Amino acid sequence: MCIFGYIRVSTLQQANEGESLETQLRQIQSYAVLKGYEIKPENFITEKGVSGSLEFERRPEGAKLFEQLSSGDVLIFSKLDRAFRNTRNALNTLHELKLRGVSVHFIDLGGDVTNDGIGSVIFTILSAFATFERERIATRIREVKQVQKTEGKFLGGFTRFGFSVEGEKLVPNPDQQAIIKEMRVMRRRGMSLRRISKWLGKFHGVVMSHSTVSTFV
């Protein structure tokens, strides 16, 4: 019989909002003492920078632990949302671990959800709510980004040639826009994409493949 504690944070924000690795570690240690469990230092499994959207058994450390767990083992999480991607993943994983004889404990749900009937019901209900909340947040993020995009705000990533970032917005770069106009004139006069690419490098110091040139002309 082995006792394991699983700890995960995906972002710095979570650490700042009370879900740090240290916070989860203390919660699990206190719970283990209350239950009379002793967790060896090497049996605290830590995932850093791993999103909850990734299924438990596909996470780097989660996958190793999932394969290792066997009859009589106990697995402790501080909170439900540290463990599973969605309700289906939660129920499937829990079912598999129950078949192996592994006890799964969630501190925020009051303890063992594999051997207690009421705990199992609560686990199922809250798993569904956790999935709903994650999907609601994802939808909200997409909506906000769409609004920002409509307003012309720069959302990060690659800045297309011909534009510059000023403040939070993408604005036309006059010098680069002038170069694009020259490229289009050259193309209309029959110049090949490769020649235009070489011209950009020779006269403007711009490295651009002929395939990229084709997107402008």
Q: Which of 10, 20, 120, 164 is catalytic?
A: 10
CA-derived radius of gyration, the chain: 27
Q: From 136, 153, 135, 134, select the one nearest 145 (Cα to Cα).
A: 153
More confidently predicted of 133 and 162: 162
- Three-class secondary structure of residue 44 per DSSP: strand
What residues does each domain of the chain span? 3-146, 163-213
Instruction: Please tell me the distance from the alpha carbon of residue 63 to that of residue 125, in angstroms, as a whole number.
Output: 25
Instruction: Please tell me the distance from the alpha carbon of residue 148 to that of residue 93, in angstroms, as a whole number.
Output: 38
* Eight-state DSSP code of residue 17: I
Angle between helices 117-150 and 87-100 (to 10 degrees): 150
- Which of 31-36's residues contact partners 24+ apart within 8 Å by CB, and which partners? 31/76, 31/105, 31/107, 32/3, 32/5, 32/76, 35/105, 35/111
Tokens of 7: 């700890």
Calculate mean pLDDT across residues 116-131. Answer: 66
More confidently predicted of 152 and 21: 21
Tokens of 123: 């686990």
Q: Specify the fold of 3-146.
A: Rossmann fold (3.40.50)
Under the banding of pLDDT at 50, 70 and 90, the label for residue 212 is: very high
The full DSSP string for 139-178 is HHHHHHHHHHHHTTB--SSPPPTTEEEETTEEEE-HHHHH
Q: What is the pTM of this model?
A: 0.56
**Is 211 considered catalytic here?**
no
pLDDT tens string 51-102 = 877 888 889 999 999 999 999 999 999 988 788 767 777 778 888 898 899 9
Res 127 pLDDT > 70: no
Q: From 69, 53, 133, select the one nearest 101 (Cα to Cα).
A: 69
Q: Check if the beta carbon of residue 23 is closer than 8 Å to that of residue 94.
A: no
